[in-house]
Amino acid sequence: EAQVTQNPRYLITVTGKKLTVTCSQNMNHEYMSWYRQDPGLGLRQIYYSMNVEVTDKGDVPEGYKVSRKEKRNFPLILESPSPNQTSLYFCATREAGRGTDTQYFGPGTRLTVL
Amino acid sequence: QKEVEQNSGPLSVPEGAIASLNCTYSDRGSQSFFWYRQYSGKSPELIMFIYSNGDKEDGRFTAQLNKASQYVSLLIRDSQPSDSATYLCAVKASGTASKLTFGTGTRLQVTL
């Protein structure tokens, strides 16, 4: 089954404690990205990756890091989380070409930073 | 000014009616336009996308694009209670390979 998985699905942590949210896909898509979703602000892109070892900032990259060492994985790293990073996070992949242009979203990770 | 604007709703329509969801965007060079549906507590899923001016139909869904007016809409015919969700408009800007900018979404309620 084609899917995007994220772990953990729920996380409560404290300010300053480094954390990583993993994202993995089995669809062999080159493009992957991370979004955060906040009430009234919608989905905002944090970082994206066009391929292995190719990453770039989205609209709200401050406080986040990413890496793309292999095609299937795209972890999101919060080196020193702060309460304003409390949000719902989605990882997504993109399939484009031959009449299709679709982003597939993972199930989401709800993060609370105290 | 927000780059992609949607009325937050809720938009309430009776079962069987046509639901009309609207979206405006600010970047005149935008190339591709997408409608995603998001059920409460779930992740967004693509309904359809449109590139060219005019209408694009897929089952009960029709996307309409008017680039001159910077306006894209989604019509849902014969609305069903299962259509109750938040509908997100997304725009791929000019000069970007894949970056999407999302609106904040319109919540649709289909009543019995």
Q: Considering CB atoms only, which of B32, B43, B97 is closest to A105?
A: B43
- Do the Cβ atoms of A33 and B103 come within 8 Å? no
B44 in reach of chain A (CB within 8 A): yes
Q: Is the pLDDT of residue A36 over 60?
A: yes
Instruction: Name the one residue in this structure whose structure tokens are 């989205």.
Output: A58
B7, pLDDT greater than 60: yes
| pLDDT score for B2 | 64
- Mutation pick from A34, A101, A104 vs chain B, by most beta carbons of B within 10 Å, is A101
User: Is residue B21 pLDDT above 70, yes or no?
Assistant: yes
Q: A102, exposed or middle or buried, with CB in 10 Å at 0-12, 13-18, 19+?
A: middle
The continuous run of DSSP H or E covering B75 comes out as strand B71-76
Q: What is the rounded CA–CA span in Å between residue B42 and residue B36? A: 12
Contacts with B97 from chain A: Cβ below 8 Å: 50
Chain A residues close to B45, C-beta within 8 Å = 105
Residues B108/A46/B97/B4 CA torsion (nearest 10 deg): 40
- Residue A25 — very low, low, confident or very high, per pLDDT cuts 50/70/90? very high
**C-beta of residue B44 within 8 angstroms of C-beta of residue B26:** no
How far apart CA A69 and CA A51 sit, in angstroms, is 9
